[in-house]
Amino acid sequence: MIKAVEIDAPIGRVWELLREEAQLGVEESQAVTLSESRGRQLLLEVRLGAGFRVQHAYELRPRGDGCTITDSARPLGWRWRLSNIFLFGRGMRAIEASAEQGLRNLKATAEDQADS
């Protein structure tokens, strides 16, 4: 699981931004929404190429005037298993780094819009 990111913006706005981004991936056939609990949880599968998918389980929790968000990223597919072997089991690092950057980008956008 990726470290929780605290966002100083309303949870509803953070949810909207997360869903907008997910919907873009769905429209471009790069993602599939597996399940969601509006405003709280989103399970998304992102296709990164033939034989390589990453499942993202986002969870939002209220915190004061803002919220926290976590992403439990889980790689799937034969290409992931093969590449992880060649990376001596360290293949998860890049996926975690990418997921963390995505959460930081979401935080920046939500907080910038909250300040406007």
In angstroms, the CA 96 to CA 113 distance is: 26
For 23-35, how does the pLDDT look when each residue is reduced to its tens digit (9 = 90+)?
999 999 999 999 9
Domains and CATH numbers, the chain: 5-110 (3.30.530)
pLDDT at 103 (0 to 100): 96
Residue 63 to residue 70: CA distance in whole angstroms: 13
- What are the residue ranges in the chain where pLDDT is below 70? none
CB atoms within 10 A of CB 82: 13
Alpha-carbon distance of 67 to 56, in angstroms, equals 18
